[in-house]
Structure 1
Amino acid sequence: MPTAPTSSLLKIILHHDLPASLVVFLIAIPLSLGIAAASGAPLIAGLVAAVVGGVVAGALGGSPLQVSGPAAGLTVVVAGLVTQFGWAATAAITCAAGVVQILLGVTRIGRLALSLSPAVVHGMLAGIGVTIAVQQLHVVLGGKAQSSLIDNVIALPAQLIAHHGHSVAVGVLTVAVVLVWPKIPRVKVIPAPLVAVVAVTGLAAIWMTDVTRVNLPDRPLQSLILPKMPEGPPVAIVTAVLTVALVASVESLLSAVAVDKLHRGNRSNLDRELIGQGAANALSGALGGMPVTGVIVRSSTNVAAGARTRASAIMHGLWIAAFVLAAGWMLELIPMAALAGVLLVTGLRLVQLAHIRTLRRHDELLVYVVTAVGVAALGLAEGVLLGLILALARVLYRLARATVTATESDGVWTVRIRGTLVFLGVASLVRTLRSIPAGAEVRVELTVDHLDHAAYEAIEDWRRGHIARGGLVEVHRTTPGQHSATLDGQQASTLEGRQASMLDGVREFEASADQIRPLLAKLAADGQQPEHLFITCADSRIVPTMITASGPGDQFCVRNVGNLIPPKGSDSSSVDAAIEYAVEVLGVKSIVVCGHSSCGAAAAALAADVPEGSGLQNWLRHLEPSVRRAVGMPDIIDPATGVKLSAADKLSVANVAVQLENLRSFACVREAEDQGRLELIGLWFDIGAAAARVVLEREPFLVRADAELSKITSNGTASAIATNPSSQ
C-alpha cells in the first residue's frame, strides 16, 4: 500500500485496523485453545503462539493483512512430536524450524514452495482435516481422542454407545451453531466460532456444571514450559525440524497467496513472509509456544472486518496477551467439548468439494485421494511423499504418452503422432516407423504440443533413411488447434491468405482432440458443474474461455447483443431462464458480466440510428438506463495506458455496472449473494490490448485486472478479478 502521512495512517488504524483487530482477537482465542488441545500441547502454548504470531509475524512478515498463529494444518504434526519427544523438546524443534524458515527466506527460495502440485497440497490439508475431525468427534461425544486415525475409528463405535450426557450436548450444540450461524442474514459478520463458544459457555455455566472445562495455570508466565534439547536419533530430530519448517512454510505461503486475492493492497513478498514466520516460530518455541503459520480463517476474517495495514494483526496479538494476563479466569469457563466442536467443523472444512471438483476436471483427483489417505492413515510426511511420487509418476507418464498410429490407404501410409513426444516415447515411435514397408509413400502428421530434440532426430533419421531406400516422406507439424506446417517450415499455411471452411475446422478439431477427449467424456457422464455464469456480448471478437483461461465445463455462458440483463419481468425469458438455472440448479459461485471495447451495441445506442420497429431497436431499449448512467459519469481513464475512453467505450463500462444492478432484481441472485454463496463480478475487456479491467461503481471506474488479484467491494456491489490469461 502507498505510504501515507502519519496523521492519515493513524486515522486508518483507528477507523479500520482497530475494529478489525478486535474481531480477529475474539475468533483467535477459541481456535488457539482448540488447536492446542487437539495437538496435546499445554493450552497456554496455543495462546503464546497466537500472541507471538500476531505481533512478530505481523510486524516482520511480507503479507501485511495475513494473521498468524497456531493452525489446524499442523495439529497432526505437533501431536506426533509431543508423543515422540515430549512438549519441551517439541518447543525446541519449533524454535529450530523457525531458524530453518529464516534461512529459506534469506536465500530467496520462498517461491519454490508454491511449485508443489495443488493436488498434493489440497490432499495434505484434506488428510489433516479428516484426522482432526475424527479425533475431535471423540471429545465432542464426551470421551478422549486416541493417538492415531485408525485407533480413533476403531474406538468410535464404543464412544457412540457410551453416554456422556452434558458433554455431548455441549459439543453437538456448538457444531450446530457454527454451521447454522453463517446462514442467518445480517448477523454473519460476527464470527460463528465466537458465537458458538460464548453461547454454549453461557448455557453450560447455568445448566451443565459437570462438563470438563479449560484449565489454565494461575500464573501463566511462570507456568511456561521452556524448550530443551530433544533426545533421540539425530535423523529423527532433523526430520522433525524439517517437517515443521516445510509444512509451516507451505501453509503460510499458500495462505498469503489466498489473502492476496481478498484485498486491493500490495501483493505479498513471499521471501519476507518466510523470514517473518521463521522469526515468530523461533520466538514462540523459545517461549514454550506452539508452531506458528499464516492462518486463512483469521486472515480472511481480518480482511472482511476492514483491516488496511499490518497494525490489525499486531494489535490482535496484544489483545490476546492482555486478556490472558488480566482475565484468564473467563477462559476457564469454556467447556472443552465446545472447543472440540469448533475444531471438528474446522477439520471438515479442510476437505473442500470445490477443490475436489476442480481436480477431477483436470484429472488430478487420484493424486489428491492418495495424498489425503496417506496423510490420514500413515502420517503427514509419508502421505505427502506418496502424493509427490504419484504426481511425478503421472508427469513422466504424460511426457511419455504419445499416440502413434500407422494406417495404409490406396498405397499411401499415414502416420499420425499426437500428444507430447519426448525421448521417453522414442522407442515406441521408431518401432512403428520401421513397420512401414521400404519404398512406400508416407505422410507423417505431427499434432503435438511438445517435440524434444531426441524425438525430432528420430523422425528425421528415419525420414532420410526411408527416402534413401526409394520412399517418399511428407512430414506436417501441427500444434493442437492450429493449421499445419511442414517440419522445415517451408509450406506453412495460416488463416491469412485463405479461409478454412467450418467443416474443415470441425475435422481438424476431431483429429486433434485426443488430449481433451477424456475430460469431455467425464463431463458427458457426470453432467455440467460450472463454477461461473459468464454473461457477455455476442461480438465475434470476444472468446470467454480465452479471456478467463478456462476449459470445458468451467463456464455456463450467455451471449447477447450488448451483454444485457433486462430486469426481472422485462419479458426476456431466455436471459431469465439462464440466470435462474445457473443459480438455482447449477449452483454457480459467481456471475461475471463482461463488456468490451468497440462495442457495436453501445455505438448504435449513442448514434440512435437503428431502424424503427426493428428487433434490434426493441432490444437496445434496455441500454437506455446505461446511457443515462454514462452521461452523469466523469471521463474514464484506462488504468494501464492513461488514455481517456471514447464515448462508446465509456457507455460499455457504465453498462456493466447497470447490468450488475439488474442482476439483483432476481430473487435467487439476491438470496444467494446475501448468504455468501454468490459473487457478482464486473469486467470490461479491451480487445485491442487483450486485457481485462475490473469495473467499479466509483472512481476509478476501471482497475487493472493484472494488478488486482483480489475481491473489490464498492457501495455494496462486488466486482472482482483477474481472469485474463496474462495475469495468471
Structure 2
Amino acid sequence: MSRDTDSPPGRTAGRFDSLLRHDLPASLVVFLVALPLSLGIAVASGAPIAAGLIAAVVGGLVVGILGGAPLQVSGPAAGLTVVVATTINEFGWKTACFITVLAGGMQILFGLSRIARAALAIAPVVVHAMLAGIGITIALQQLHVLLGGSSRSSAWQNLIQLPNELLNLHGDDFLIGLVVIGLMLGWKKVPGRLQVLPGPLVAVVTATVLSLVLPGDPERIVLNGSLFDAIGLPGLPDGDWGGVVLAALTIALIASVESLLSAVSVDKMHTGARTDFDRELVGQGAANMVSGALGGLPVTGVIVRSATNVAAGARSRASAFLHGIWVLVFSVALVGVVQQIPKSALAGLLIVVGIQLVKLAHIKLARRTGDLLVYVVTVLGVVFLNLLEGVIIGLLLAFALLLWRVVRVSITAGPVAGTERWLISIDGTCTFLALPRLTSELRKVPEGADALVELSVDFLDHAAYEAIHDWARQHESTGGSVEYVELGTAHMAHALTGPPVRGRARSLLDDVLRPWRADDGNPITKGVAAFHRRNAHVVRPHLDELRDGQQPHSLFLTCADSRIVPNVITNSGPGDLFTIRNVGNLVAAGGRDASLEAALSFAIDELGVDNVVVCGHSSCGAMKALIAGGSAGPGLDNWLVHGRPSVDRFHAGDPVAAAAARAGFGVADQLSMVNVAVQLETLRAHPVVRRAMRERGLQVSGLFFDIASARVLAVTAEGIADIDAPDLAGVLAHTH
C-alpha cells in the first residue's frame, strides 16, 4: 500500500491516541477548576447562577471549535465581573444578555477586520492595573458576603460599610469562608500527589461538607431547575441605545484584550501551534453571541484555566471542547449538588481570586520601569469610578508619560575637569520645547572659552538648530571657539535641508566599518573630518594614556587585504596589537625579509608581547595565485615564492586541508589555512621566537577569518576549531 493512502489513517490513529492520553485527562482537570470559578463569577456579577455555567459550556464548545488559540480555555472571567455587574444594575439581566450578544458581534467584526494585534498595543501596565483594580473591587464586594451580608453598589460604599458589617458578622458564613481562603492559599504547600486535585475544587467541596455537618444555617446557592430550565432569550432595551452600545463596546474591548493577552501568555507556555489572533476574536465573538442568546455571562479567554490546561498536558483544542461537555453534564445531572454550596464558600474563593489579580511582580515591574504612577492611578480609577473610566484615565496618563519621555532632552553645560574647556552635552530629542532649558545652559558658558558641543540627539528641529547656531556665532565673536561632536542620528548640517525627521539609529558598521565611497572630494580627508566630528573625543582619553609609549599584548601578522580589520575581529583597541601586514601573511624563512625581522625583534624583545598570532583569511588573492601556479605578475612572483612550502604541504594531504574540506571550504581557503599552519612552524623555529617561548612562555597561535560569515576559526597543526567567545585564552591572552 502506498504512503499516501496509508498516512491519513495513521494520522487519525495518532490523534485519537493523543486525545485519550493527553487531552481527555487535561479536560477533566480544567473542568474541576472551571466549575467553582464559573459559579463564583456569576454570584459576583449579580447574575443568575446558571448564567456562569452556560457561559462555561459555551466557552468550551464554541471557542473550542472556532477559536484560534489551540490550548486556551474560555469561559466567564473575573476580569469582566465589574463591568457585567454594572451593566446588570443599569439595564437589567435580560438587556445585559442582549448587550453580550451585541458585544460578540463587535468582536467578530474586529476579527474579520484583522485588527486583533492592535489590541496588544495597549500599555501592559494599564492592563495589569485594570486587573488589579478588578481584583480589589471583587475582594471588597465578596468580603461582605463572607461576613454574612450583601455587597453594596460601589467600592466606596463597600469600604465605608465594612466596619458595620464586621460588628454584625455571621459566624457560620465567616468560618466557611475562612476555610476556603485557608485551603486556597495553602494548597501549594501540600504533598505533591494531592496537588493533582485543583485547589478551588478541594476548598469548595471541603467547605460544603463542613456546612452540612456543623451547626448553623449558612446561605446557599439557589438554582431553580436544570441548566436547560435557565435558558432564556435576551430582551431588547427600552431606550438609551447609546448607553447600550457603549456597554457592548466596553465588554467587547475588555473581553478581546483579555483573550488576546491570555493567548500570548499561553503561547509562551508550550511549543505547539501559535495563536491565530484574528480567528480567536471571531471565535470569542461567536461564543459571546451564543452565550448571550442563551442567557449566559460574557465569555473570554481565561489565563487560570488555560495555564491549568497546559500544565495538565493538553495537546489540542479537544481539551477545551471536552471541558465544556463535562460542565454541561454536571449542570444537567447534578443540580442538587450545586445547591448545597454556601455563598460564603464562593465568596472566599473569589476573594482569593481577586487578591491574586493584584500581582506584586507587576507592581515591582511598574516601579522599575517608571510606570508606578500609571499603575496606581489606573487602579484607583477602576475601583472608585468604573472600569472604563479607570482604563481611559490610565491610557491617557500612559500616553502623556510616553510623550514626555519621547520629547525629553537632557542638556548640561559645565567645565571639563582639569581644563579650561567647557562641555555642552545635549542628549535626546531636541525641539522647540527644549529652548528655555537650552538657552539657559548655553548662557553659563563664559565669554572667550573653548566649548565642545556634544550632540547625542535623534531629532533636531529648526528652532533648536537656530538657537545652537546663533549662540555659537555670538560666542565665537567674543573670542571663544566652538567644536561640534555629533554622536546622534540627527546632524546640524541636515537641519536646513528639509523638514526635520527622526534619524535612523547608526550601528558600529555604519559609523566606522562600512566601506565609504565619496562621489567627489578626497575620501581620506572626508573620513578624517568625520572621525574628528564623531569619534575622536571617544578615543582621545585612551590615546592620551599611550602618548609616552605602547604596551601591546600581541604581535598580529596578517594579510594586507583591505577586508581584514584586526582590532575588530579580536575586539581589541588602540595599543593592544602590534600589527604586521604583507601579501599572504607570509614569514620569509632564513631572515630574507628585513622588515619582518625588525618587527619580530622589536615586538618580542623590546615590547615584550605575550602572543604572536598569524591570521589568514578566505578569498585570499595570494593563495589563489599560488594554487593556480604560473606567474602572478611583476613584483609578486619573487614574494610568493615564500608560499611554496604551503602549496607543497597542501598537495601532500595536510590534515588541516582535510579538516577544512570537511567543513565545506573551497580549495583556495583550504590552502590559506594550511599556509597559517606552515607559518606557525616557521615562526616557532625562528631564534627570537624560540627563545621567548622557552624563557617566558610566549604563545604562538593561528587564526583564519571567514569573510562571508564573519567567523574566526583557530588553526593548529592538527586542523581547525571553532573559538568560543568566552574562552580566547589559548588564542589571544587577553583582549582590550
TM-score normalised by the chain length of structure 1: 0.65
Q: 1:111 aligns with which of 105, 111, 117?
A: 117
AA of the residue aligned to 1:189: V
Question: In the superposition, relative to structure 1, how do residues 278 and 337 fare at CA in structure 2: closer, same or farther (>3 Å)?
Answer: same
Partners in 2 of 1:476 and 1:42 — Cα distance? 70
Is 1:472 the counterpart of 2:508? The answer is no
Question: In the superposition, relative to structure 1, how do residues 496 and 267 fare at CA in structure 2: closer, same or farther (>3 Å)?
Answer: farther
Number of the residue aligned with 1:60: 66
Alignment of 1:371-410 (within 5 A): 371-407=378-414
SS class of match (2:297): coil
SS class of match (1:266): coil
Structure index of larger Rg: 2
Is 1:201 the counterpart of 2:212? The answer is no
Query: 1:464 deviation in Å?
Result: 7.4
Question: In the superposition, relative to structure 1, how do residues 494 and 35 fare at CA in structure 2: closer, same or farther (>3 Å)?
Answer: farther
Partners in 2 of 1:352 and 1:266 — Cα distance? 29
**1:230-287 CA deviation, whole Å, 9 max, x = no partner?**
2343332221111101111111111111111211112212222111111111111111
AA of the residue aligned to 2:278: D
Contact between 1:399 and 1:422, CA under 8 Å: does it hold in 2?
no
Number of the residue aligned with 2:187: 181
Q: 1:451 aligns with which of 459, 463, 479?
A: 459
Partners in 1 of 2:191 and 2:182 — Cα distance? 16
**1:419-458 CA deviation, whole Å, 9 max, x = no partner?**
443453245335544776787643101244x334457744
Query: 1:348 deviation in Å?
Result: 0.2
Alignment of 1:19-34 (within 5 A): 19-34=25-40
Number of the residue aligned with 1:134: 140
AA of the residue aligned to 2:247: A
SS class of match (2:351): helix
Partners in 2 of 1:501 and 1:289 — Cα distance? 75
**1:280-332 CA deviation, whole Å, 9 max, x = no partner?**
11111111111111101111111111101000000000111111112221111
Number of the residue aligned with 2:434: 425
Partners in 1 of 2:469 and 2:241 — Cα distance? 54
Partners in 2 of 1:134 and 1:503 — Cα distance? 66
Alignment of 1:204-215 (within 5 A): 204-208=211-215, 210-215=217-222
Question: In the superposition, relative to structure 1, how do residues 403 and 111 fare at CA in structure 2: closer, same or farther (>3 Å)?
Answer: same
AA of the residue aligned to 1:65: L
Number of the residue aligned with 1:327: 334
Is 1:164 the counterpart of 2:173? The answer is no
Provide structure 2 residue ranges, at least 5 long, that are not aligned to the other structure: 1-6, 489-504, 513-526, 547-569, 572-708, 715-722, 727-736
Q: 1:11 aligns with which of 9, 17, 24?
A: 17
Query: 1:151 deviation in Å?
Result: 0.6
Query: 1:359 deviation in Å?
Result: 1.2
Number of the residue aligned with 2:535: 493
Q: 2:314 aligns with which of 289, 297, 307?
A: 307
Partners in 1 of 2:429 and 2:528 — Cα distance? 16
Query: 1:495 deviation in Å?
Result: 12
Contact between 1:400 and 1:423, CA under 8 Å: does it hold in 2?
no
Alignment of 1:577-592 (within 5 A): none
Is 1:48 the counterpart of 2:48? The answer is no
Query: 1:476 deviation in Å?
Result: 1.2
Provide structure 1 residue ranges, at least 5 long, that are not aligned to the other structure: 505-539, 542-640, 647-684, 689-728
Query: 1:86 deviation in Å?
Result: 0.3
**1:603-629 CA deviation, whole Å, 9 max, x = no partner?**
xxxxxxxxxxxxxxxxxxxxxxxxxxx
Number of the residue aligned with 2:159: 153
Number of the residue aligned with 1:609: none
Question: In the superposition, relative to structure 1, how do residues 321 and 503 fare at CA in structure 2: closer, same or farther (>3 Å)?
Answer: farther
Number of the residue aligned with 2:270: 263
Partners in 2 of 1:258 and 1:111 — Cα distance? 14
Number of the residue aligned with 1:336: 343
Question: In the superposition, relative to structure 1, how do residues 500 and 7 fare at CA in structure 2: closer, same or farther (>3 Å)?
Answer: farther
Query: 1:68 deviation in Å?
Result: 0.5
SS class of match (2:227): coil
Partners in 2 of 1:382 and 1:236 — Cα distance? 14
**1:670-726 CA deviation, whole Å, 9 max, x = no partner?**
xxxxxxxxxxxxxxx9869xxxxxxxxxxxxxxxxxxxxxxxxxxxxxxxxxxxxxx
Question: In the superposition, relative to structure 1, how do residues 489 and 33 fare at CA in structure 2: closer, same or farther (>3 Å)?
Answer: farther
Contact between 2:23 and 2:318, CA under 8 Å: does it hold in 1?
yes
Structure 1 stretch displaced more, 32-41 or 473-482: 473-482
Partners in 1 of 2:158 and 2:291 — Cα distance? 30
Partners in 1 of 2:397 and 2:251 — Cα distance? 23
Contact between 1:204 and 1:335, CA under 8 Å: does it hold in 2?
yes
Partners in 2 of 1:428 and 1:95 — Cα distance? 55
Contact between 1:76 and 1:128, CA under 8 Å: does it hold in 2?
yes
Q: 2:245 aligns with which of 210, 221, 238?
A: 238
Partners in 1 of 2:528 and 2:300 — Cα distance? 52
Query: 1:128 deviation in Å?
Result: 0.5
Structure 1 stretch displaced more, 451-460 or 95-104: 451-460
Partners in 2 of 1:79 and 1:221 — Cα distance? 23
Partners in 1 of 2:273 and 2:104 — Cα distance? 25
Contact between 1:145 and 1:152, CA under 8 Å: does it hold in 2?
yes
Partners in 2 of 1:503 and 1:9 — Cα distance? 70
Instruction: Give the aligned CA root-mean-square deviation in angstroms.
Output: 3.5
Contact between 2:227 and 2:332, CA under 8 Å: does it hold in 1?
yes
Structure 1 stretch displaced more, 201-210 or 153-162: 201-210
Percent identity (aligned): 49
Contact between 2:129 and 2:379, CA under 8 Å: does it hold in 1?
yes
AA of the residue aligned to 1:288: G
Question: In the superposition, relative to structure 1, how do residues 495 and 10 fare at CA in structure 2: closer, same or farther (>3 Å)?
Answer: farther
AA of the residue aligned to 1:216: L
Question: In the superposition, relative to structure 1, how do residues 176 and 427 fare at CA in structure 2: closer, same or farther (>3 Å)?
Answer: same
AA of the residue aligned to 1:227: P
Q: 2:365 aligns with which of 358, 365, 372?
A: 358
Alignment of 1:529-608 (within 5 A): none
Partners in 2 of 1:503 and 1:288 — Cα distance? 80
Question: In the superposition, relative to structure 1, how do residues 163 and 490 fare at CA in structure 2: closer, same or farther (>3 Å)?
Answer: closer
Number of the residue aligned with 2:102: 96
Contact between 1:91 and 1:285, CA under 8 Å: does it hold in 2?
yes
Query: 1:201 deviation in Å?
Result: 1.1
Question: In the superposition, relative to structure 1, how do residues 381 and 496 fare at CA in structure 2: closer, same or farther (>3 Å)?
Answer: closer
Question: In the superposition, relative to structure 1, how do residues 63 and 458 fare at CA in structure 2: closer, same or farther (>3 Å)?
Answer: farther
Query: 1:126 deviation in Å?
Result: 0.6
Question: In the superposition, relative to structure 1, how do residues 292 and 366 fare at CA in structure 2: closer, same or farther (>3 Å)?
Answer: same
Structure 1 stretch displaced more, 57-66 or 15-24: 57-66
Partners in 1 of 2:370 and 2:544 — Cα distance? 30
AA of the residue aligned to 2:413: A
Partners in 2 of 1:10 and 1:502 — Cα distance? 74
TM-score normalised by the chain length of structure 2: 0.64
Partners in 1 of 2:242 and 2:191 — Cα distance? 53
Number of the residue aligned with 1:144: 150
Q: 1:252 aligns with which of 251, 259, 264?
A: 259
Query: 1:487 deviation in Å?
Result: 13
Structure 1 stretch displaced more, 381-390 or 469-478: 469-478
Partners in 2 of 1:502 and 1:68 — Cα distance? 66
Query: 1:384 deviation in Å?
Result: 0.9
Contact between 1:92 and 1:228, CA under 8 Å: does it hold in 2?
yes
